[in-house]
Amino acid sequence: MTATNGAHRVFIQLGPPPEEGGQLVRPGARQTYPAEVEARLRIDAATIISRYPVARSALLPLLHLVQSEDSCITPAGIDFCATQLGLTGTEVVAVATFYSMYRRSPTGDYHVGVCTNTLCAVLGGDAILATLEEHLGVHHGATTADGAITLEHIECNAACDFAPVVMVNWEFFDDQTPDSACAIVDALRAGEQVTPSRGARLCTFRRTARILAGFPDERIGANDTRVGHATLAGLDLARTQAIAELSSAETFSADESIGG
């Protein structure tokens, strides 16, 4: 386009292009909730908001609540959270797009996250991801045709002592290999019950989102605390060394006394 003074104007479109994946506003995304769904969500939202002295502090669990309804964040979910908390849609979107646990596209029954951060990667995380992509026929961020598995590579799971780690609906599967990871997703797709290395038996992604919203986790073993041997290895070693150093110090002190 040419301006009247002969200068050329250039149109620059800011933000990601509409065809790019992971858009909150996209074809098929729910724009509003049916009256009965909204009524039910309002009751749950009131329970959540009552736990906070300032209502807007409830935004994170409310986002998990609407994600439990839609399996991702939708325009309907954004509007619902904004209305319940007296926020603008922009304020809600700013938070929802900052945290990676809030999904921007529909998620399968099981979100399988392969850690590809440094330690997991060098111990086999990259190989696990590549194998799963081939085995499932989907790439990072995509969902299998049966809607069972959404595969994603994710950043550090804070479980480096059990690397390489795979998380399914945010539950840990430690010390994985390409073969063991394939066995897990095969079992999930077959409808078999799968138990993680630590934590309760798996539930669906939507159920997990509801638990993250702050509602009771009624799974057997959900509140059991199990600390793996690798987590305590450093502490055990420190205690052993401390005892050894103490013994040496006591011996040295006794020798000094004798010599003096």
Please list the pLDDT of the chain residue by residue as tens digits (260 residues).
445 566 677 767 665 555 555 567 677 788 899 999 999 999 999 999 999 999 999 999 999 999 999 999 999 999 999 999 999 999 999 999 999 899 989 999 999 999 998 888 889 999 999 999 999 999 998 999 999 999 999 888 888 889 999 999 999 999 999 999 999 999 999 999 898 988 788 999 999 999 999 998 887 766 666 666 777 777 777 887 766 665 555 554 555 544 54
Q: How far apart are CA 143 and CA 141, in angstroms?
A: 7
